[in-house]
């Protein structure tokens, strides 16, 4: 009992010191509370005020317009002048426009010369005191009128004069068209052809739908920016200030410290969110700002979403808030300094925004898969909650799945202050620096190779497909691989063959790699299918065309061009030269991540990025496990062959084949040759 | 100066004890790194024990294991009889720890800092307030006890750190290079403080690579190199065994006997 009281006291002490630190930090206070409270009203108000002022100033200004309107029907010019006169502050000046009138026959020809002379003549007219100049020209050959407005787009007044003159012309046009329709139909067309639109959505539905598109994204961004300062100060700041070691020798379990720090981060992030949301909703309720997509007729600026929907949205967003704060703590726990923490937070923000963006897509429906995705599920639930279309079953599933994600992240946060990792002093700085240089050089070659494949490989293949493909895969890519591996080998003082990992493999590994191909093919088919829902492939993309051309070839040629050559060329570079450089400094997961991005990018198609990226990451793991390039070449070749041949022999795409991969996986567990 | 009345061996109870302490890190790039390769030492109450060695010898890692921050790969460490691996929280209650790189929370005042760590040690209410007042007086911090720590001078910060380390009056005090980065006045205040702990019958284990400090303060010295203790004894015992007068030569001689060339070690950037 006393232990528990003590633990509670310790928790409160840590929490209190975190809050004291934050409250006394002017920057934190300003960005979490003062800024949002002031920002939104100022932003909305300022925007409206600016719009109004500029509109009023322009409307108050006199603009002069010259017009000629000498066309049939005779009545039109007079009516146009009347309409122009109705536009307030628009003075119609009758002046000398003879130069333009003289041009009329030539304008009909529409040549470049005529256009240039027209511009010169018009600028003379505009220089003589008019702001814009509108003319209707009757062209003999063509039926009807040609209308022209001359203006100077760099002058506000000229733009305004043009707007008013054009508006008058539009009104004239509408009048004439209406008259004509009445003639043809024999009745008022407005009564017969225009349906009266009746929107069945309530004001709350409309405003909820508009808010639902924006709020999840805003919530994630605000939560991250509000919590990031607290997380940086609680974790990275503690290490930077040199207080962490002291904290860890206090008679307090590390998990109590971490729990209190996490609570501080969560509370700060949530209060920032609450202040921001209150400020946004308050500004809208006061009529200061409106939501995009809501016209004035639907109650535009006023927000009509009820408290019930807002509460539901807050409830479904909770697991995302916990997950995001846990991720903030995890990220900042890795950083040694504030600055390092800030650098780590940027990628986290980008990663967090991506799944949330799904909620801005109106046609993405919440389903079992999306509900289980971290952040995407809660974001879509917030959207649906604001629309008033929450499906209880899916929400429950989202809650279960996302709570599991949050719990997973929280369990990792428990190790954020693991002294073994945080304070470990093993290391030799020179050696570390050398390794970093090697990895960076490999990465630079990787990026260069991707661009070379785009630019040089692309133009070679555009020149002639088959020779281009052969040259790219057998000359260009191996050449880059050789250049890159030569540097790595020189720096690491090893042979070129070692840098390419061209050592004799365990034969079991080669067999295992080949057997892994069917499962990979199934995975990539699933990825294609999934991607098709989010990012549908256009019916006729460039790559598709290329594939069609290759598929028309004899089978053996197809296997050579699509399976064998890419396997050799790409593996030499990606799992040979690139991976051998990357692994000097980076852990396997980072190497695999870089390989994912670069290998995916090298295939030059956003639609193939995901499957090829996954293939690249898997091949990297195979290279790491087998310590040889040959199993990678075997897997790559058999995967490509399966994909290429499954059109001809559909049996190759049967899901049952994937079971072979279990044997393949087991074979890969065998020890590599020493 | 060096004629300190250290207690006869075996008279006072052992406050800090290491038996066959080892620490290996697993570095993903370099494999297993052995930072500490079997260290035995014992420090008694009323004794100042100095751990002397060059940078990278394993001093900090040893002290961190004794202070329960790092878990030993092998061996046993006890603080005031409590096994650090079995009951780290109890060991921490009997332990004060301070290192040269220790910082303070910039936005808390010294008084708040002391209150924070007092609460972590389970002190509350009047007992906590009384102890804080006592420390504020003992370290003459009254003038700046309520200002923010970020505004303090190095010497003032040092006092707050020391006060924080002895807040719970621990029987064992571990100091990792406590004078690093201090000017002459501040480091002499630190030396006075260490001596005052000995007079109060507490045990102080501290590491240093400053020979004069070790010479002046320590009742016994352990020379540590490449993760091993080369020899332990009083200054006179060490001088006698090596036949050298100056502590610097004693150190070099011990390293030489261990089969290492001290100059080569220095050339590798590990100066004594």
pLDDT tens track for A246-294: 888 899 988 899 999 999 999 999 998 998 888 888 887 777 766 655 5
Whether B146 maps to a domain, the answer reads no
For residue A584, what is the nearest residue in chain B, using CA coordinates? B29
Please tell me the distance from the alpha carbon of residue A547 to that of residue A568, in angstroms, as a whole number.
19
Using an 8 Å Cβ cutoff, are A435 and A574 in contact? no
CA of B116: which chain A residue's CA is closest?
A13
User: How far does the CA of residue A667 sit from the closest CA of chain B (Å)?
Assistant: 25
Average pLDDT, chain A: 80
Q: Determine the distance in angstroms separating the CA of A223 from the nearest CA of chain B, rounded to an integer.
A: 24
Say if residue B6's pLDDT is above 60: no
State yes or no: pLDDT of B245 exceeds 80: yes
Q: Which of A17, A245, A585 sits opposite B69 (nearest CB)?
A: A245
Cβ contacts of A327 within 8 Å, gap of 6 or more? A348, A352, A409
Q: Which residues of A272-298 are buried (b: 16+ CB within 10 A; e: fewer)?
A: bbebbbebbbebbeeebbbbeebeeeb
Do A245 and B102 count as a contact with CB atoms less than 8 A apart?
Answer: yes
How far A249 CA lies from chain B's nearest CA (Å)?
6
pLDDT above 50: residue A296: no
> By mean pLDDT, which of A89-98, A491-500, B9-18, B78-87 is the weakest?
A89-98
Both structure tokens of B184: 């002459």
Q: Alpha helix (H) ranges present in A389-506?
A: 392-413, 419-422, 429-452, 458-463, 465-471, 477-492, 496-499
- What are the tens digits of pLDDT across the range A518-536? 999 999 888 888 877 776 6
- Residue at B212 is within a domain: yes
Closest CA to A575 of A557, A602, A543, A611: A602
Cβ–Cβ below 8 Å for B120 and A424: no
Q: Which of A22, A246, A427 to mutate to test the interface with B (most CBs of B within 10 A)?
A: A246
Chain A CB contacts of B106 under 8 Å are 21, 241
* Tokens describing residue A547: 């594939």
Beta-strand pair B172-176/B203-208: parallel
Pairing mode of beta strands A63-69, A132-138? parallel
Share of chain A above pLDDT 70, in %: 81
With vertex at residue A407, the alpha carbon angle to CA A405 and CA A408, rounded to the nearest 5 degrees, is: 65
- The answer, yes or no, to whether residue A341 has pLDDT greater than 70, is yes
Count of CB atoms situated within 10 Å of the CB of A356: 22
Strand order in the sheet with B14-27: B31-44, B14-27, B74-79, B82-83
Q: Which residues of A touch B121 (CB under 8 A)?
A: 250-251
Average pLDDT over residues A470-475: 89
Q: Does position A217 have pLDDT exceeding 80, yes or no?
A: yes
Q: Per-residue pLDDT for A10 more than 50? A: yes
Determine, for residues B105 and A243 on separate chains, whether the beta-carbon distance falls below 8 Å: yes
B262 falls within a domain: yes
Q: Which of A158-172, A284-298, A439-453 has the lowest mean pLDDT?
A: A284-298
Across the range A374-402, mean pLDDT stands at 90
B209-220 confidence digits (pLDDT tens): 888 888 888 999
Please count the other Cβ atoms lying within 10 Å of the Cβ belonging to residue A174: 10
Look at residue B127 and tell me if it is in a domain. Answer: no
Tell the residue number behind the tokens 């790039």, with chain if given: B29
DSSP 3-state assignment of B148?
coil
Between A533 and B253, the higher pLDDT residue: B253
- B159: pLDDT strictly greater than 50: yes
Chain A positions contacting chain B at CB under 8 Å are 6, 9-10, 12-14, 16-17, 20-21, 24-25, 241-243, 245-246, 248-253, 419-420, 423-428, 431-432, 435, 584-585, 587
**% of chain A residues with pLDDT over 90:** 20
Position B113 in a domain: no
Q: What is the structure's pLDDT at B4?
A: 44
Q: How many CB pairs under 8 A join A and B?
A: 99
Closest residue of B to A2, CA-based? B122
Instruction: Find the mean pLDDT for residues A347-353.
Output: 85
**Cβ contact, residue pair B92, A419, below 8 Å:** no
Q: Which pLDDT score, from 0 to 100, does residue A401 have? A: 93
Greater confidence (B76 vs B102) lies with: B76
pLDDT, greater one: A225 or A129: A225
**Nearest Cα residue in chain B from A238:** B105
CB-CB: which of A6, A420, A426 is closest to B33? A426
Selected residue with higher pLDDT from A172 and A541: A172
Query: Do the strands B48-52 and A63-69 form a parallel or antiparallel pair, or are they unpaired?
Result: unpaired
pLDDT of residue A109: 67
| Tally of domains within chain B | 1
DSSP A373: S
Q: Which helix (H) or strand (E) holds B14?
A: strand B14-27
How near does any CA of chain B get to the CA of A218, in Å? 31
* Rounded CA separation A581/B34 (Å): 27
pLDDT at A90: 61
pLDDT of residue A502: 87
A5-35: buried (b, 16+ CB within 10 Å) or exposed (e) per residue? Answer: ebbebbbebbbbbbebbbebbeebeebbbeb
B253 domain-assigned: yes
User: Given a cut of 60, is residue B147 above it in pLDDT?
Assistant: yes
Nearest to B119 among A9, A426, A584 (CB): A9
Chain B nearest-CA distance from A38, in A, is 26
CATH of the domain at B192: 3.40.50.300
CA distances from A354 to A349, A358, A361, A605, B182 (A): 9, 7, 12, 19, 50
Residue A51 in this model has a pLDDT that exceeds 60: yes
Question: Which residue in the set B30, B93, B124 is minimally distant from A9, CB to CB?
Answer: B124
Model confidence at B269, pLDDT cuts 50, 70, 90, reads very low
- Tell me if A336 sits within 8 A of A232, measured CB to CB: no
Among A104-113, A446-455, A456-465, B19-28, whose mean pLDDT is lowest? A104-113
Checking if the pLDDT of B5 tops 50, the result is no
Chain A positions in Cβ-Cβ contact with residue B61 (cut-off 8 Å): 425
Give me the residue label for tokens 């961004």: A221
Q: Taking CB atoms and an 8 Å cutoff, what residues of chain B touch A587?
A: 28
- Average the pLDDT over each of A125-134, A375-384, B74-83, B244-253 and give the range with the smallest value: A125-134
In angstroms, the CA A79 to CA A172 distance is 7
| Cα–Cα distance for residue pair A303/A284, rounded to 1 Å | 6
The pLDDT value recorded for residue A300 is 45
Residue A169 has pLDDT above 80, yes or no: no
- Closest Cβ–Cβ partner in B30, B60, B103 for A425: B60
- Higher-scoring residue by pLDDT: B199, A45: B199
What domain range is B210 assigned to? Answer: 14-104+152-267
What gap in Å lies between CA A218 and CA A353, rounded to an integer? 9
B258 in Cβ contact with B225 (< 8 Å): yes
Mean pLDDT of chain B: 85
pLDDT at B271: 34
- In this predicted structure, what is the pLDDT of residue A516? 92
* Strand ranges, E, within B169-258: 172-176, 203-208, 220-225, 228-233
CA distance B203 to chain A (A): 17
CB atoms within 10 A of CB B243: 9
Contact between B156 and B141 under an 8 Å Cβ cutoff? The reply is yes
Confidence of residue A579 (pLDDT cuts 50, 70, 90): very high
Identify the pLDDT of residue A543: 52
**Residue B197 placed within a domain:** yes
Which of A171-185, A565-579, A644-658 is the most confident on average? A565-579
What pLDDT shows up at residue A262?
A: 94
Indicate whether B250 belongs to any domain. yes
Tokens of A509: 């590994």
- pLDDT, tens digit (0-9, with 9 covering 90-100), for A93-114: 555 566 666 666 666 666 777 7
* pLDDT value for A113: 78
| pLDDT-based confidence at residue A538 (cuts at 50, 70, 90) | low
**Any CB–CB contact under 8 A between B73 and chain A?**
no
């Amino acid at each position: 009992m006393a232990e528990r009281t003590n633990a509670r006291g310790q928790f409160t002490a840590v929490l209190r010191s975190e809050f004291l630190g934050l409250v006394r930090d002017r920057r934190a206070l300003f960005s979490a509370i003062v800024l949002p409270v002031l920002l939104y009203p100022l932003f909305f108000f300022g925007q409206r005020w600016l719009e109004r002022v500029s509109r009023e100033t322009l409307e108050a200004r006199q603009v002069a317009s010259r017009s000629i309107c000498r066309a049939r029907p005779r009545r039109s010019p007079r009516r146009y002048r009347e309409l122009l006169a109705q536009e307030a502050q628009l003075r119609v000046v009758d002046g000398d426009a003879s130069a333009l009138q003289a041009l009329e026959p030539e304008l009909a020809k529409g040549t470049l010369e005529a256009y240039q002379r027209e511009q010169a003549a018009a600028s003379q007219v505009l220089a003589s005191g008019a702001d814009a100049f509108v003319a209707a020209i009757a062209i003999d050959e063509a039926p009807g009128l040609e209308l022209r407005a001359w203006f100077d787009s760099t002058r506000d007044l000229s733009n305004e004069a043009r707007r008013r003159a054009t508006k008058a012309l539009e009104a004239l046009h509408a009048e004439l068209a209406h008259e004509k329709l009445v003639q043809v139909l024999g009745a008022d067309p407005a009564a017969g052809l225009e349906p009266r639109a009746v929107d069945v959505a309530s004001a709350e539905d409309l405003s909820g739908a508009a808010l639902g598109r924006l709020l999840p994204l805003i919530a994630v961004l605000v939560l991250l920016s509000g919590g990031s300062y607290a997380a940086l100060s609680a974790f990275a700041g503690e290490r930077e200030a040199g207080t962490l070691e002291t904290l860890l020798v206090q008679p307090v379990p590390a998990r109590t410290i971490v729990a209190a720090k996490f609570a501080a981060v969560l509370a700060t992030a949530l209060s920032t969110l609450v202040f921001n949301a209150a400020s946004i909703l308050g500004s809208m309720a006061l009529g200061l700002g409106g939501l995009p997509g809501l016209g004035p007729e639907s109650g535009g600026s006023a927000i009509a979403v009820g408290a019930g929907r807002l509460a539901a949205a807050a409830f479904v967003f909770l697991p995302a808030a916990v997950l995001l704060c846990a991720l903030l703590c995890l990220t900042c726990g890795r950083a040694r300094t504030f600055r390092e923490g800030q650098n780590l937070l940027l990628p986290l923000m980008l990663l967090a925004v991506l799944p949330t963006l799904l909620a801005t897509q109106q046609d993405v429906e919440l389903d079992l898969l999306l509900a289980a995705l971290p952040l995407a599920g809660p974001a879509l639930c917030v959207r649906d909650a604001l629309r008033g279309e929450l499906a209880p079953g899916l929400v429950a599933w989202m809650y279960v799945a996302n709570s599991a994600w949050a719990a997973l992240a929280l369990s990792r946060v428990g190790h954020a202050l693991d002294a073994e990792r945080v304070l470990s002093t093993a290391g030799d700085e020179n050696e570390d620096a050398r390794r970093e240089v090697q990895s960076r050089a490999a990465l630079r070659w990787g990026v260069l190779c991707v661009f070379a494949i785009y630019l040089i490989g692309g133009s070679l293949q555009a020149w002639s497909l088959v020779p281009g493909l052969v040259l790219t895969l057998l000359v260009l890519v191996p050449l880059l691989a050789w250049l890159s591996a030569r540097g790595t080998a020189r720096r690491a003082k090893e042979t070129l063959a070692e840098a390419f990992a061209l050592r004799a493999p365990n034969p079991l590994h080669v067999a295992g790699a080949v057997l892994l191909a069917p499962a990979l093919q199934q995975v990539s088919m699933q990825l294609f299918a999934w991607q098709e829902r989010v990012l549908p492939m256009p019916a006729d993309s460039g790559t598709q065309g290329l594939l069609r051309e290759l598929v028309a070839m004899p089978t053996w040629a197809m296997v050579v061009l699509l399976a064998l050559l890419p396997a050799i060329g790409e593996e030499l570079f990606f799992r040979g030269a690139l991976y051998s450089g990357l692994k000097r400094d980076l852990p396997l997961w980072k190497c695999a991540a870089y390989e994912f991005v670069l290998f995916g990018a090298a295939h030059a198609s956003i639609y193939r990025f995901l499957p090829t990226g996954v293939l690249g990451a898997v091949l990297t793991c195979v290279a790491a496990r087998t310590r040889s390039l040959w199993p990678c070449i075997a897997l790559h070749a058999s995967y490509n062959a399966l994909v290429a041949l499954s059109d001809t022999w559909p049996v190759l795409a049967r899901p049952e084949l994937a079971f072979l991969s279990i044997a393949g996986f087991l074979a890969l567990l065998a020890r590599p040759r020493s | 100066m060096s004629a300190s009345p250290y207690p006869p061996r075996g008279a006072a109870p052992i406050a800090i004890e290491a038996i066959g302490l080892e620490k290996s890190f697993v570095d993903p790039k370099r494999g297993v790194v052995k930072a500490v390769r079997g260290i035995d030492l014992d420090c008694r109450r009323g004794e100042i024990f100095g751990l002397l060695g060059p940078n990278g010898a394993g001093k900090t890692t040893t002290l961190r294991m004794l202070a329960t921050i790092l878990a030993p790969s092998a061996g046993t460490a006890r603080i005031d009889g409590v096994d650090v691996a079995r009951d780290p929280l109890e060991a921490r209650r009997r332990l004060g720890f301070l290192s040269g790189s220790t910082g303070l929370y910039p936005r808390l005042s010294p008084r708040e800092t002391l209150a924070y760590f007092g609460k972590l040690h389970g002190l509350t209410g009047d007992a906590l307030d009384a102890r804080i007042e006592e420390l504020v007086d003992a370290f003459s911090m009254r003038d700046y006890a309520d200002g923010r720590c970020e505004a303090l001078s190095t010497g003032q910060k040092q006092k707050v750190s020391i006060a924080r380390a002895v807040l719970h009056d621990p029987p064992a005090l571990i100091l990792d290079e406590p004078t690093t980065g201090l000017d002459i006045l501040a480091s002499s205040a630190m030396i006075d403080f260490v001596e005052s702990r000995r007079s109060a019958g507490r045990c102080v284990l501290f590491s240093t690579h400053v020979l004069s400090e070790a010479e002046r303060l320590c009742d016994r010295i352990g020379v540590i190199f490449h993760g091993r203790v080369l020899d332990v004894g009083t200054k006179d015992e060490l001088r006698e065994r090596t036949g050298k007068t100056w502590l610097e030569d004693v150190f070099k001689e011990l390293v030489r006997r261990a089969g290492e060339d001290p100059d080569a070690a220095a050339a590798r950037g590990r100066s004594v």
